Chain A
Amino acid sequence: MRSRLLPAPLTGATLLIGLASCGRPTPRKAADARDRAASTAASAVMVAAAWDSGAAPGIYASHATGEMSASLWKADSAPVWSALPDSTAAAIHASLRVLGTRAAKLDSAIDQEDRPGATRLRTSLEQRGRELSAIPIDTTP
C-alpha cells in the first residue's frame, strides 16, 4: 500500500519546529515560571523535612536540594522576566537569588548533618517561597 499521508509524528515534528520559533516571553509565561520556581522551593522544603524525619537518606536529600538550588539560580537568569515591568522583575530576581542561596545552604547543612541549621533554612525557604508566589503578575494582555 502506498501511503502518501504524512505520518502523524512527522506532522507533529513540523508543527514543533514551526512553533519553537515563536516562543517570546509573555507575562503569562512569566507567571508560570514564577509558580514553577515557588514549586521548586516548596519541593526543597519537603525534601529537607523528609530528611529531618529520617524518611529520606542524606545522600538523596543533599543531591536533590542541590539540584533544586541550581534550578532556582537558572530561573533567575531566564529571559522570561523581561516581559514584566521593571519593579516586578526586580522583586522576582531578588527573591530568586535569596531562594537559590538558601537552597544551596540547605544542601550543605544536610551534607554536614546540621539539623538545627537545616530546620532554620527550611522555615525561611518556605516563607520566602510563599512571598515569591505572592508577587503579583498582571497576565491580562
Chain B
Amino acid sequence: MSRLIEIALGIVTGIGGFLEAGSLATAAQAGAGFRFELIWAVILGATCLAFLVEMCGRLSAISKHTVPDALRERFGFRFFMVPLVVMQLVMLMVLATELGGVALALQMISGVSYRWWSVPVGLLSWALLWKGTFGLIEKGVSVLGLVTLAFVVGALHLHPPFGEVARGALPRLPAHDGAQYWFLAVSILGASISPYLFFFYSAGAVEDRWDVSHLAINRITAGAGMGFGGIVAVGALVLAGMVFHPAGIKVDSYQQLPLLLTSALGHWGFVLFVASLGIACFGAAQEIAVTSAYLMAQGFGWRWSENLPPAEDARFSLSYTAMTAVACLPVLAGVDVLKLTNISMVVSAASLPVVVLPLLVIMNDRRYLRDYCNGWVANTAVTAIVLLAGVLAVVSFPLLIAGGG
C-alpha cells in the first residue's frame, strides 16, 4: 500500500515538476513559430530525461552514493572542477530565470514590476528551504505543480487536429527559417533534459534512503513521471500552435503567454496560467537552489541533508542561501527574463555532455552498480542524444546572435 502511494507521489512529482520557465517558454515559442512541427523535440527530450533520471535513481539506490559523489570519486578532484563550475554557472542562470518567472506571475496579478518581486520571492524560497524538509520541497511543491495540467486541458478544449499533432511527433526538416527551427529544437532539449534534475533526483534517492527494493518504483516514476510531464509541455506547444501561430504572433515576452490559456479557458485560463507559472517556477527555483548546495556538499564530502536544521550542515545551507541571493540580482536589475531563459536553455544543452558522459562511465562501473550496470541500449541512446544536443547547442550560439533570440 505504502509502495503504491510512493509510486503515485513519484509520478505526481514528475508531472508537477516537469514544467518550469524554460520548458514553458520554449514550447510556446516553438508552437508560435512552427505550429506542431517541433513536438518531436519535446518527446525526445522527455524520453532522454526519463532514461537519465532512472539511471541517477538506480545509482543512488544501489551504491548509496549520489552523482556528484561518484563524479568526484571516480574522476578525481581536478576533473570534478569542470562539471562543478559549469553546472553552478548554468544553475545560477536557470535559477534566475525561475525566480524571474515567479516574479512575472506576481506582476501579472499585482501590476507591480517583476523587478521588485525578485527579493520577496527569493526570500520566501530561501525561508522554505531553511525551515522545510526534502519531502516538503519535492512532494509539496510538485503536488501543487499539478495545476500545470491546465495546459493539457486548455489544448484539448481547443480541439486540435490530432492527425497534425501526431505528425509533429516525427522529426522532419523545417520548411522555413531553418536557423530558428534548430535553435528552438536545442532550447527545448536543453529545457527538458535539465542537468540539475539528475543531481536533485539522485540526492533525493539518498535522502529517502532508497535501496535495491526501490528499483521498480524508480523505473516507474522516471518513465511515467517524465512521460506525463512531457505531455504538459506538449500541451503548451499545441496551445501556442493554435492561438499564436495563425495570428502571426511570435513569442518575445512572457506577457504574451497568459493568452495561451485565456483563449481556451477564459477568466479561469488567466488564473490557471498565473498559478502554473508561479508555482512551477517556484518549485523549480527551490529544486535548483538546493541542488546547487548538494553539488557542493557531495563534491567536497561535507555533511548534507535538506532534512537537517541549518545549524547542523552550515556549509550546505549557506550554499543555497548564497545561490538564491546571487540569482535575485539579475532579476532585480531588470534583465529581460525571456532572453535570459533562451540563453540559459542553450547553455544548459551545451553543458549536457560535461555531466552526462562521465555519468555514463559511472553507470557501467560495477564497483558502484554491482549487477545493475547499464545495458548497451541505454548507453548508446543516451550518448547519441546528448552528443546531438551538445553539438546543436554549440552550433546554435551563432544562431542566437543571428536570429536575435
- Which A residues fall within an 8 A CB radius of B? 1-3, 7-9, 11-13, 15-16, 19-20, 23, 29, 32, 35-36, 38-40, 42-43, 46-47, 50, 53-57, 59-60, 62-64, 67-68, 71, 133
Partner of A7, one of B86, B255, B269, B398: B86
Partner of A60, one of B82, B109, B394: B109
Instruction: Count contacts between A and B, CB distance < 8 Å.
Output: 121
Partner of B252, one of A36, A57, A133: A36
B353–A8 CB distance below 8 A: yes
B51 to chain A, nearest CB (A): 20
Q: Within the assembled complex, what's the spacing in Å between the Cα atoms of A11 and B394?
A: 7
Q: Within the assembled complex, what's the spacing in Å between the Cα atoms of A68 and B252?
A: 10
Residues of B within 8 A of A36 (CB): 250, 252, 404
Residues of B within 8 A of A46 (CB): 247, 249, 256, 259, 263
Q: Within the assembled complex, what's the spacing in Å between the Cα atoms of A56 and B270?
A: 6
A71–B253 CB distance below 8 A: yes
Interface on chain B toward A: helix, strand, loop, or mixed SS? helix
Q: A7-B82, A35-B248, A63-B108 are in contact. Are A19 and B253 (CB under 8 A)?
A: no
Q: Within the assembled complex, what's the spacing in Å between the Cα atoms of A1 and B73?
A: 11
Residues of B within 8 A of A15 (CB): 394, 397-398
A61 to chain B, nearest CB (A): 9
Contacts A/B (CB < 8 Å), 26 sampled:
A8-B394, A9-B347, A9-B351, A9-B354, A11-B394, A12-B347, A12-B397, A19-B401, A29-B404, A35-B250, A39-B252, A43-B255, A43-B259, A46-B256, A47-B255, A47-B256, A47-B259, A50-B270, A54-B266, A56-B258, A60-B111, A60-B270, A63-B108, A63-B111, A63-B255, A67-B253
Q: Within the assembled complex, what's the spacing in Å between the Cα atoms of A31 and B351?
A: 33
A55–B248 CB distance below 8 A: no
A1–B249 CB distance below 8 A: no
A19 to chain B, nearest CB (A): 5
A57–B255 CB distance below 8 A: no
Interface: B326 (CB within 8 A): no
